Structure 1
């Protein structure tokens, strides 16, 4: 029987993110967001779970005239407040032990899950700033 060969997969594995790396990574993402996407979001939520870093953005909803219709089950103010408090999922980063080379999964609303993605460089690994730029460029413009 032939032995199986182990092959690295960018969509599996990873290591638990140390507290010091969490703090530095969050600061890097926030700094990049403020420098490049100021005014495109009202707040960011960056959370860490095991080997993952999740990045969500909250935005000010666009007020459309005549919406919601009169028979809508909530008032206009309730509707806008609900939208203000609904996050836009941007991406998920996977930590492999190197702060400069994270895995990247883009949140796809069509499938309602995170999907393995490549960075604009064509690599499966990149920096938190590159991941944020890619996801925010799609969802916050």
Structure 2
């Protein structure tokens, strides 16, 4: 089981926060916590509610992650396979599902 280096933890959190700031104004913060080979990503809404969004499994480099989407109805993460999606693209998909589109 590979351990996530501190530099990768830092870069992942910075990339996701920057992406959310530019693309998801409904989120006031993105929280990333780590346990073993996993990174758990939550989004914080403007009212302070925190939503579990996804779990990433470290794949040996800062840009190689397995992904699992949080499924609220089951209260668990379900693994997904995207062969060419970036972490930011997966984040967008998950935010589309959990946060929703920006109101006109």
Under TM normalisation by the shorter chain, which class is it?
0.7 to 0.9
Structure 2 residue ranges without an equivalent (≥5): none
Q: Is the 8 A contact 1:99 1:127 kept in 2?
A: no
3-state SS of paired residue (1:129) = helix
Number of residues of Structure 1 aligned to a counterpart in Structure 2: 100
Runs in 1 of length 4+ with deviation above 3 angstroms? none
Q: Normalization by structure 1: what TM-score? A: 0.64
From 62, 72, 75, the counterpart of 1:99: 62
Q: CA RMSD in A?
A: 1.6
Q: Which has the higher contact order (CA 8 A, sep 6+)?
A: 1
Q: Whose Rg is larger?
A: 1
3-state SS of paired residue (2:27) = coil
Higher strand share: 2
**Structure 1 counterpart of 2:22:** 35
Q: Normalization by structure 2: what TM-score? A: 0.85
Structure 1 residue ranges without an equivalent (≥5): 1-13, 62-83
